[in-house]
A and B are shown apart, each in its own frame.
Chain A
Amino acid sequence: MFLAFAILTLAGALSVLWQRNLILAGMSLVLSFLGLAGLFVLLANPVAAALQLIVYSGAIVVLVLFVIMLLNTHQEEPAERERPIQRWLGLASAALLGVGAVGAVLASPAVEGLKAAPASAMTLQGLGAALFRDHLLGFEVAGLLLLAAMVAAVLLVKKEV
């Protein structure tokens, strides 16, 4: 199961990288988020998986697709100036970073030494208790931040400010 969800996640991400059509890239993003939600279930955290599906696949990707259709930019615009060296250099350095970081994780005896503690699945009750007992102020600040972001978004797209 882990392998299936991991491959789904990475295949969706790679498809975003190669996809020319922006709508299809957004759909690949949904695929990647679905795989991530599956990985969260395997991590005994169904609450996070549900949040992932609702907020990312449900809200954020729909927002991106809405903007793509609103601006009618289904295809990437033809390049003003082709910069093949910079593009391949960027991809190569990203790949180098990936190889180095994965190698470091696989070679680390500290990570390998960690044993999975016997954990029960995360419940909504446990999350709610931790949230409202220890992080009430943070919760209120997050609400204020969402309000500020909403006002900023409305202000930014208004016709004339």
Chain B
Amino acid sequence: MDAAAFLQGSLQAYLSVALLLFVTGLGIVLARRSLLVQFMGIELMLNAANLALLAAARWRGGDPQASVLYLFIIAVAACEAAVGLALVVALFRHRATTDADRADLLKQ
């Protein structure tokens, strides 16, 4: 491995940053209890996947198909954000909590 190229941003460096971002998001989802913070962790994991995708596209000569895929991922992420936050608000109406540990029953 070439350390200087790594620090300048080689494909390996970008993939490493994407992986570290992904495991940080995973750690947030696993360790934090607030649903809203867990939601932020999910967004971070989604963005790690985007970074890996665009880095791979750059090393394939700037394929425009990857940017199209990125556009679709962003559209789906916006839908996910709207519906996920609506679910959190609906849960808060029913239980007056946003704590994942307190929302562990399916029935009232």
Query: What is A's interface to B at a CB cutoff of 8 Å?
Result: 1-3, 6, 9-10, 13-14, 16-17, 22, 25-26, 29, 32-33, 36, 39-40, 42-45, 47-48, 51-52, 55-56, 59-60, 63-64, 67-68, 70-71, 73, 76-77, 79-81, 83, 87, 90-91, 93-95, 97-98, 101-102, 105-106, 111-112, 114-122, 126-127, 129-131, 134-135, 138, 142, 145-146, 148-150, 152-154, 156-157
Contacts and interface: CB of A to CB of B under 8 A. Distances in A.
Nearest to B17: A6
Given A63-B81, A77-B97, A97-B23, A25 B37 contact: yes
Contacts of A112: 1, 12
Interface of B: 1, 7-9, 11-17, 19-28, 30-34, 36-37, 39-41, 43-44, 47, 50-51, 54-55, 57-62, 64-65, 67-68, 70-72, 74-83, 85-90, 92-93, 97-99, 101-102
B43 to A, nearest CB: 7
B71 to A, nearest CB: 7
Contacts of A121: 62
Contacts of A131: 68, 71
Contacts, number: 245
Contacts of B99: 76-77, 79-80
Contacts of A117: 59-62
Given A43-B55, A60-B43, A119-B61, 11 more contacts: A14-B24, A29-B44, A32-B21, A94-B24, A101-B22, A116-B11, A117-B59, A119-B62, A122-B67, A130-B67, A153-B82
Given A64-B81, A131-B68, A156 B75 contact: no
B77 A22 contact: no
A51 B62 contact: no
Contact of A98 (B8, B11, B19): B19
A43 B58 contact: yes
A6 B58 contact: no
26 contacts: A2-B13, A6-B13, A17-B27, A43-B14, A48-B50, A52-B47, A67-B36, A71-B89, A71-B92, A76-B32, A76-B37, A77-B97, A79-B33, A91-B31, A94-B23, A95-B23, A97-B26, A117-B59, A120-B62, A121-B62, A130-B67, A134-B68, A142-B75, A145-B76, A146-B78, A157-B90
